[in-house]
Amino acid sequence: MLVFEFKVYGKSVQLTAIDDAIRTAQFVRNSCIRLWMDVKDTGKNDLQKYCAVLAANFPFANELNSMARQASAERAWSSITRFYDNCKKGISGKKGFPQFQKDCRSVEYKTSGWKLADNRKFITFTDKKGIGRLKIKGTRDLHFYQINQIKRVRLVKRADGYYCQFCIDVIRQENIEPSGNTIGLDVGLKEYYTDSNGVMVENPKFLRIGEKVLKRSQRRVSRKVKGSKNRGKARQILGKRHLKISRQRKDHAVKLARCVVQSNDLIAYEDLRIKNLVKNHCLAKSINDASWYQFRVWLEYFGLVFKKVTVAVNPQYTSQECSSCGEVVKKTLSTRTHVCQCGCVMDRDKNAALIILSRGLSTVGHTGTFALDASNAWGDETSTLSGASLVEQVMS
């Protein structure tokens, strides 16, 4: 599934109609969550049927396309199933009980309720919300795909305007020559990552660089009277600052992950739990700024695209174990050089990267290029986890 995003241009009346459609989608989702809370044994089909009940009782809900209402119900059901799955897995802490959404920013249409122009530069929404014909502008060319390949159309509101996303049902695969290289990656805060070859990539620290501008924008918001137009303008400027930083992080992660995957046949990295790491309040901001998980997601995605192996290994003792003899050498976080009794002296992060690579190779069994199914979902299932064979991972 490919997602192409285009900037949307329209009149103020049309943009107001988009806001109305987004609020209606939020209402449908929250109503489905309330039904699940109040009525025992409520299933997915019950939520789909409840959309028709909402349309009959509320005229503004009837104005939204029927499939858009069903898509909102599917969003509610996805949050419910996530909660059930977390309970079955027995994860510690909060299980993610479904919450009511307070600030929805998108509405999703399926295969009806919209019509794309022949020149692929305009899209018309045909429901009763009155959105009408909108101009779309982007760098992608939709002429390469048929209309029936577009399974979802999503209108998204951001700080700098409105966007239209097209979810296209196509499997992306690219064939490149095997490089014969294997690599282990140890992510960090001082350097973004250090690989098993000793190469260090600088941490861009986008949030730290733009923090001065963010604080100034936040002060301007605080000075304005709540509910005033000037406060709304100041909040919009602050939102644009945050949006720029998030886009910088994503661009950095995508380009770096693509470069790493294209240059190596096997990539091993730590199976980190970022949720637990950010509990350290001294390092939480720097960890979130590094966006390690986003980098991992794109590593796994490009691993599927280019048919490369990505291995998530157990991070326990990767920074303490010696890559030469295997002995555990206790080190504090401030100790940046690994010194072992066997005579091994090297940078701490490089030693950890070598340990990660050795664990990844022991998990896979041998190096090489494997054809993975690119239709897998994003997340842990797209990588080979430590302790499971590659065949078992692919067959699952």
Instruction: List the chain pLDDT tens, one digit each, 396 residues.
Output: 889 999 999 999 999 999 999 999 999 999 999 999 999 889 999 999 999 999 999 999 999 999 999 999 999 999 999 999 999 988 877 888 999 999 899 999 998 899 999 889 999 999 999 999 999 998 888 888 888 899 999 999 999 999 999 999 988 888 888 888 899 998 988 889 888 888 889 999 999 999 999 999 999 999 999 989 999 999 999 999 999 999 999 999 999 999 999 999 899 999 888 888 888 888 899 989 999 999 999 999 999 999 999 999 888 888 888 888 877 888 787 788 888 878 788 888 888 889 888 888 887 654 333 333 333 334 334 444 444 443 333 333
Category of 368 on φ-ψ map: left (φ > 0), alpha (ψ -120 to 50) or beta: left
Residues facing 201 on adjacent strands: 193
Two tokens at 116?
């794309």
- Residue 18: the pLDDT is 95
Task: Provide the strand spans (E) within the chain.
Answer: 2-9, 106-109, 114-116, 122-125, 132-137, 150-158, 161-168, 182-187, 191-195, 200-202, 266-270, 309-313, 337-339, 345-347, 384-385
Distances (CA, A) of 251 to 72, 210, 245, 284: 29, 16, 10, 22
Q: Residue 59 has what pLDDT?
A: 93
Give me the DSSP letters along 28-58.
Answer: HHHHHHHHHHHSTT--HHHHHHHHHHHHHH-
Please pick, among 195, 270, 289, 300, the residue that the annotation labels catalytic: 270
Per-residue model confidence (pLDDT) at position 369: 36
pLDDT of residue 172: 85
CATH class of 182-203+245-395: alpha beta
- Catalytic residue chosen out of the listed positions 265, 289, 300, 349: 349
* pLDDT score for 395: 32
Q: Does residue 373 have an active-site annotation?
A: no
CA angle (292 as vertex; 290, 295 as ends), nearest 5:
115
Residue 349 known to be catalytic: yes
Give me 224's structure tokens: 């304005």
Specify the pLDDT at position 272: 87
For residues 24 and 73, is the Cβ–Cβ distance under 8 A?
A: no
Q: What is the pLDDT of residue 176?
A: 85
Q: Could you tell me the residue ranges of all domains in the chain? A: 2-168, 182-203+245-395
Residue whose C-alpha is closest to residue 312's, from 376, 373, 374, 386: 386
Look at strands 114-116 and 122-125 and give their pairing: antiparallel
C-alpha span between 383 and 372 (Å, rounded): 10
> How long is the chain?
396
Question: Which amino acid is present at 24?
Answer: T
The active-site residue, picked from 127, 186, 265, 300, is 186
Q: Mind giving me the DSSP string for 237-291?
A: HHHHHHHHHHHHHHHHHHHHHHHHHHH-SEEEEE---HHHHTTSTTTHHHHHHHT
Neighbouring C-beta atoms of residue 312, cutoff 10 Å: 24
Q: Report the pLDDT value the prediction gives residue 155, as an integer from 0 to 100.
A: 95
| Amino acid in position 366 | H
* Residue 270: active-site member: yes
